[in-house]
Structure 1
Amino acid sequence: MTDTAVYPGSFDPVTNGHLDIIERSAKVFNKVVVAVLHNRNKEPLFSVDERITMLRESVEHIPNVEIDSFNGLLIDYVRQKQAKTIVRGLRAVSDFEYELQAASINRKLDPEIETFFMMTNNQYSYLSSSIVKEIAKYEADVKGLVPSPVDEYLYEKYGPFTAE
């Protein structure tokens, strides 16, 4: 295993696809910092504090995972955490172009920090936070799409799920 890696994202909300990447990264790195981004360009459903709470509850079974949040440039945050690796999950080819661009600029800003791409498990390749919110908004059950603590938070935002 190697040192510390940072897995950044909005996690609005955390999905089973995110959890898959976190669990698998925790087997590769001594420590994984899951970092919730304060993204000024998005209107999140959940506050940063709510997302941190959901993540902590979802990963409490993984001892080498830390949950945190950050503002500003990812590369500055990675340096602050004294990490050498950024973990990024890829669901499909459509993710690759954006992720390649982000990895390239991060490499330009700090050539000592690597980006580690991990393909999500095929069973989660269709899954995104946006899809989960859309399903929950129409009061459909999201069990199996999000870690068990998260469905309760969605219930609080949108109301009870209806049986289909």
Structure 2
Amino acid sequence: METKRVIMDDKAVARAIARISYEIIERNKGTEELCIVGIFSRGVPLGRRIAAKLSELEKNEVPFGALDITPYRDDSRSSTETDKTDISFDITDRNVVIVDDVIFTGRSSRAAIDALIKRGRPRSIQLAVLVDRGHRELPIRPDYVGKNLPTSHSEVVKVSTVEIDGTDGVAIY
């Protein structure tokens, strides 16, 4: 697959994460009762970075968890895969920020909401994404966006993270 163009480099990704973190603090009036949950796979490292930035800025530990939405997806039902979810804290009555790399149709976000609600009753669920590429099929809108990126249906947006790919960036193919 040949890269059409690079949209964000490592510095742009870092700036977007910092900006999203500040917006989360402002909207939630701090980080009390807040937790971050990243969606596998690239939402996990992005969410972990946001949680670390929030903890650094507010001087208190913000709980972080990783969410596997595979069992909750409406486009594939695989009973052979094991649930990789790792949320070691109670989400009941907390403000949960779900973190994903790209929002497209909204189906992954819906699956994440379903998966969270199975684990407790959050006070609120918010959504942070690095890239919003439009083309929603469900009435879901992110609360925090790193970059709005209008695309055609045929284009592919690829987010890379150091933890998984060895480099940070966003490109269109």
- Which TM bucket (shorter chain)? 0.3 to 0.5
Is the strand fraction higher in 1 or 2?
2
Q: What is the TM-score normalised by the length of structure 1? A: 0.42
Higher helix share: 1
TM-score (norm. length: structure 2): 0.40
